[in-house]
Structure 1
Amino acid sequence: MAARCLGTVTFTCFLIICLELLVILFMWSPPAAWLLVPNQQESSATSTLKTTLEGDNQTFPTVKDMLEHLHDSPLMVTCVNYGFVELLYNLLFSIQRLKIQPNILVICEDKMSFIELSKGRQNLNLEFKIALTFLEESTTKSTRYTSDSYIQLVQKRVYYIELLLRHNIDVLYIDSDIVLLEDPFKFMNGKEDLFIQSETPRKSVVCTGFFYIKANNRTCRLISAWRRALPRDKRGNQRVFNEVLNRFKRQIKVNILPTDRFFSGKIFAASNEPWSKRSPKPVEIHANFMTGSVKKTQTMKNLGLWFIPPSNNSNIL
């Protein structure tokens, strides 16, 4: 009798322990920032992440949800949070004035920017797709490029780019604080794997704010190595990319774009000559080397690079 009671107690304890383990496993979930889709080995972990977020009577499709609608390649990709939405509108208006219609995907890092762009797109005669990040949402503010929140924001682009490359989509990644003055794709018809902007005339440092990368095994390995290096390095994504690219220099064919056509803010601001009078004509101008959306916006306006029509200012933001 005592042995039977002891067996019953032991079995009951075993059931309780199993139930507790099941509860722990059910409640545990890894941080969203690590639920990425960089390769097949990691895809099982990411399959548990919900790809559609619902808010106030609105559904927010994520980048993953958009994949089935992104068959056309190349794809122009830009990322934005609410603090940089006005600069993004300026980029989109600069594309519209060129009378071209590239395939464009805007990845919103917060729901506020998604909602704003969903409403504001009616003011543009330009088609573009909008998706919400499938990672955790970022700050809605325009932050300093040295801040932790900004570093987190810009590092996320690496995951989006790798996801698209692995789906055989060529990507032109373009920061939201850029304007286009000519069709950039005309300058990217070579056999190289990567076409990228330089920060300096000597072309010694490349800029991760503007580059065109073709989808192949070599570039997937490059971007994967960049992604893996980021969590271990606090120096910023661009410096890490330059170091990783140097390691891949025998595998990746690189075309560093001419600095008299593709301008960093530092190079462009070194001359007071208006962009419309420069020869050769600028293709792209990047308002980097300055902090915050307010300063970037004012600089763009001072240089005649503000393309949001006055009639649209009241309808935007």
Structure 2
Amino acid sequence: MPCRGRKCVVYAVVCVCFLICIRYVTIGNTSRIASLKDYSFNNVLVSNEIYASSRVQLDNSLHSNFLTKEPMNDSREWTILMTVNNGYLDFFRNWLWYFKKLNLSTPLIVVAHDDLVYKELWDVDVSNLGNIVIERSALVSINSSVNYQTKQFNMLVGKRPYHILDFLERGKNILYIDTDTVWLQAPFQYFTGDYDLWVQMESDASFCTGLMAIKSGPHTLELIRAWRDRMIDIDNKKNDQDGFNDIVRNFSSKVRIKGLDTKRFPDGLQYFVTFNDRQREDVVVVHNNWIIGHGKKLERFKRMKLWYEDKHDGTE
């Protein structure tokens, strides 16, 4: 029998109330009132419970598309790789101090070249920066600061393609960076375009292997394997950069290489000698090369107020 008059109105109200209760209440002890704060206007769940723990890792697609407005070709697409020995541990910590200031979430892998630095990194640096992986190199063990173009230097840097290749073969896009660098800005936004490899350029127009962003792919793997094999052939008579420049031209038809803008990524000769203060304001990464010796590099960083310990002890 159809409802009429007041009875129909009351029936409709009861039905609406019942539907509202179903929306907000579930049967049993697991009932929960949904908070408006748990929802964004595009139906992406951003519950306060997610943010309560800094250890909870959000899904990458959610993180990149909703929580930030960074381009897709950003820091999350890369893994930073560094090799460190005890002789340049202080330079690594200087780099790390500036890196932490940028508040990046990029994974960091550090390959230790000796037992002393391996233990020190585990004991101190891992506790200070959680998103870091420490590995001990099985290829070399040199714990002192070695000078450019010496046999020990060539032995040390000659293992660079081995380590890069190791992680490229795991499917990681690798940004290899030397320890004698300082990041004033995040460099990832400059790794754009249809390229496989971005690399710093030296003043003499050669490629600098101390700053290389390499996408993992069949052609880049072939290039890095050829670089590794070249280092075996020259048997520590040249450094890794010479070895890379020896063979890279053979891959010009396979690997798309982009030389980074020297105004943004200058070498040590440009930044410390030829640039003026205005030009230095545009620099993204400072590379303290084109000078030989730990002490001279340290003095040059200090002179340009780029040394972290001076910022702690108030000497600036």
TM > 0.5: yes
Alignment of 1:304-315 (within 5 A): 304-308=305-309, 310-311=311-312
Matched residues, number: 237
> Alpha-carbon deviation of 1:290?
1.3
Q: Is 1:152 the counterpart of 2:162 in the alignment?
A: no
Aligned counterpart for 1:77 among listed residues 81, 90, 96: 81
In structure 2, distance between residues paired with 1:178 and 1:311: 19
Q: Deviations over 1:113-145 (max 9, x none)?
A: 11112233268456322111132x321110111
Over the aligned positions, Cα root-mean-square deviation in angstroms equals 2.1
Aligned counterpart, 1:97? 101
Tell me, what secondary structure is at the counterpart of 2:274?
coil
Q: Deviations over 1:140-171 (max 9, x none)?
A: 11011111111111011110111111111110
> Alpha-carbon deviation of 1:247?
0.8
Aligned counterpart, 2:72? none
Tell me, what secondary structure is at the counterpart of 2:248?
helix
Aligned counterpart, 1:107? 111
In structure 2, distance between residues paired with 1:189 and 1:141: 37
**Alignment-mate amino acid for residue 112 of structure 1:** L
**Alignment-mate amino acid for residue 299 of structure 2:** Q
**Alignment-mate amino acid for residue 179 of structure 2:** S
In structure 1, distance between residues paired with 2:175 and 2:88: 19
Distance 1:216-1:114 versus aligned 2 partners, 3 A rule: same
Distance 1:298-1:120 versus aligned 2 partners, 3 A rule: farther
**Alignment-mate amino acid for residue 120 of structure 1:** V
Aligned counterpart, 2:258? 255
CA contact (8 A) 2:91 2:179 kept: yes
Aligned counterpart, 1:86? 90
Alignment of 1:42-81 (within 5 A): 73-81=77-85
Aligned counterpart, 1:264? 267
> Alpha-carbon deviation of 1:272?
5.8
Which is higher, the Rg of structure 1 or of structure 2? Answer: 2
Distance 1:93-1:126 versus aligned 2 partners, 3 A rule: farther
> Alpha-carbon deviation of 1:312?
7.8
Q: Deviations over 1:158-201 (max 9, x none)?
A: 1011111111111000001111111111111322000000011x
Could you tell me the percent identity over the aligned residues?
Answer: 28
Aligned counterpart, 2:183? 180
Distance 1:126-1:87 versus aligned 2 partners, 3 A rule: farther
TM-score normalised by length of structure 2? 0.70
**Alignment-mate amino acid for residue 116 of structure 2:** M
In structure 1, distance between residues paired with 2:240 and 2:275: 30
In structure 1, distance between residues paired with 2:114 and 2:258: 34
In structure 1, distance between residues paired with 2:102 and 2:133: 19
Tell me, what secondary structure is at the counterpart of 2:109?
strand
> Alpha-carbon deviation of 1:229?
1.0
CA contact (8 A) 1:73 1:171 kept: no
> Alpha-carbon deviation of 1:73?
4.8
Tell me, what secondary structure is at the counterpart of 1:129?
strand
CA contact (8 A) 1:76 1:102 kept: yes
> Alpha-carbon deviation of 1:75?
0.7
Alignment of 1:182-197 (within 5 A): 182-197=185-200
In structure 1, distance between residues paired with 2:120 and 2:311: 18
Alignment of 1:149-228 (within 5 A): 149-200=152-203, 204-228=205-229
Q: Deviations over 1:189-240 (max 9, x none)?
A: 322000000011x7x2010000100000000000011111112222221122
In structure 2, distance between residues paired with 1:220 and 1:306: 36
Tell me, what secondary structure is at the counterpart of 1:158?
helix
> Alpha-carbon deviation of 1:280?
5.6
Aligned counterpart, 2:245? 242
CA contact (8 A) 1:77 1:106 kept: yes
> Alpha-carbon deviation of 1:102?
1.3
CA contact (8 A) 2:200 2:265 kept: yes
**Alignment-mate amino acid for residue 88 of structure 1:** F
Aligned counterpart, 2:285? 284
Higher mean displacement: 183-192 or 217-226: 183-192
RCO comparison, higher one (Cα < 8 Å, 6+)? 1
Instruction: Identify unmatched segments of 5+ residues in structure 2.
Output: 1-75
Aligned counterpart, 1:294? 295
> Alpha-carbon deviation of 1:243?
2.1
**Alignment-mate amino acid for residue 241 of structure 1:** F
TM-score normalised by length of structure 1? 0.70
> Alpha-carbon deviation of 1:101?
2.3
Q: Is 1:120 the counterpart of 2:120 in the alignment?
A: no
Tell me, what secondary structure is at the counterpart of 1:231?
helix
